[in-house]
Structure formats: structure tokens, C-alpha cells
Amino acid sequence: MQGRKADDHVRVRRSFWCSRGSGRENKCTLSQSSNGITVDCSTHSFTVVPSDTSKICIGEGHDETLTACNTNEVSTIKEFLGVADGTNAPQWTSDHALTIPTEQFSIIDKTFFAECLSKSGTNQGTKECLVPVSVKARASAVKNGVLICAYGTQSNNTVLAVTLDAKNNSLTIICGTEGQMHPEKDSLTAYQCTSSNTENCKTLNLSSCRASQRGGGRRLTQTVMRSNS
């Protein structure tokens, strides 16, 4: 089954031509700003691994994992990205292009690899061309009162600010399975920081914050999340 069209949601696409050479190609990095890759295998001489358009070879593509890619070192793209049930995940197209929608990047950095294998001759079943792919995690973001936390090396370059007032008085925080809420949600406390320096924060009692708001207007303007990684 053919997946998404190659240009759906694409911002920047990296292309690799494996039909004219062999060995390990330059490593590709995918991110929300550069979210597409095409691996060009000669259709007459080489075959793409894995052949299932909904799957990828997981890991960094070390030599010892190449054979395993045809057995247990395979993941569906949906599972690899952590795409929610009921949502369509991207797939490889017929020309072996993959585009990851910006909203479907994982919350942690991950790696996979794509490769072309010789179809016949003495090289059958051996590595012919391999492209290691690093997938950068999405950036932590706030939208419509929902904070989605991510834990990649570049996910939190800035500290997110959230303003709660009488009109916008709720915030939902999604830590995901890779993170943990701090302070614990039942403590009715939060970290209050005077700047983006999260090392000099104090614990704020949210009960007293609510009482102050009724008296005329203290606002909680920043919520700091810390992961358990």
C-alpha cells in the first residue's frame, strides 16, 4: 500500500543516491524544520530494506544489525514515532521517500537506517548502501492551554511561559512516558522562577495563589517542567 504523498507537509527534503555506489552514506538528520528524506535505489539492481512501506530498520545501522533488520530489528513507523491510535502515520512512497509531519515527531531523539541491497550476483544479501538517519525530537510547545513536553537535545532551547488569568485559567501538562511531573500533581504546588534560570526557583503554593487572585490579580506566568531522564 502506498503511503502519504512525498510532498505532504514537507519543509526540507534530503536526498541520497545509492544506485551509483556502495557503503555508508553521510548521516541524515530529520527534524521539524527538515522533515523529509528520499533514498534512491536502482529499481533494476537493488532492493529496499525493509520492503514493507509502513516499517523501518531501527538502530544506527551497524554492520551486525543489517541481517537482523529482516527479522527482529524492525519497527512500524507508527510505533517508532509514537503516533496516537486513530491517527494515520507516514509511510514510504513508491519512490522510497518519507515525510514526517511536524506534529508527529517523537518527544525523544531516535535513530533508524535505510538501505539498498543487491538483488542478484555475489553481493546478494549483503550491504550495498546504508543511510543512518537521526530523528530529532519535537520542540516542547504550548497550544490552546496544553503544554506538550519533549526531551530531545534541542527540545527545550527556551523556557516556555504560560499566563493564567480569569479568562484562561487552566493548563494541561502532558509529560509522556519519558517524563515525570514535578512537583507531583497532588501537591498543589509549582516551581516559580524569576527568569529563565531554572536553578533558582522556589516552590509556590497554588492554594495561596488562588486566594491572591481573588484579591485582585496575582498571575502565575511560568511553569517549569523537569523530566526524569
Cα-atom radius of gyration of the chain, to the nearest Å?
23
CA–CA distance from 173 to each of 9, 18, 186, 201, 224 (Å)?
26, 44, 14, 19, 11
The one-letter code for the residue type at 162 is: V
| Strand extents, DSSP E, the chain | 13-17, 23-24, 28-30, 36-40, 46-49, 55-58, 74-76, 97-99, 110-118, 127-135, 141-143, 146-148, 172-174, 189-193, 201-205
The tens place of each residue's pLDDT in the chain, 229 residues long, gives: 344 444 445 555 667 666 544 455 567 899 999 999 988 876 667 777 788 999 998 866 555 445 557 556 789 999 999 998 999 999 999 888 999 999 999 999 999 988 777 766 544 445 567 788 999 999 999 988 899 999 999 999 887 888 888 888 888 889 988 888 877 777 788 887 776 677 778 888 877 655 444 444 334 434 444 433 3
> Which cell numbers in the block locate residue 28?
541524515
The last residue of one of the domains, among 135, 169, 198, is: 135
The last residue of one of the domains, among 135, 152, 170, is: 135
116 and 83 together in one domain: yes
> Which cell numbers in the block locate residue 27?
548521516
Q: Which residue has the cell 551497524?
A: 62
What is the enclosing helix (H) or strand (E) of 78?
A: helix 77-81
- Residue 163: the pLDDT is 84
- Residue 150: the pLDDT is 95
- Residue 170: the pLDDT is 86
49 and 150 together in one domain: no
The last residue of one of the domains, among 135, 165, 183, is: 135
CA–CA distance from 141 to each of 91, 155, 172, 221 (Å)?
25, 9, 12, 15
75 and 184 together in one domain: no
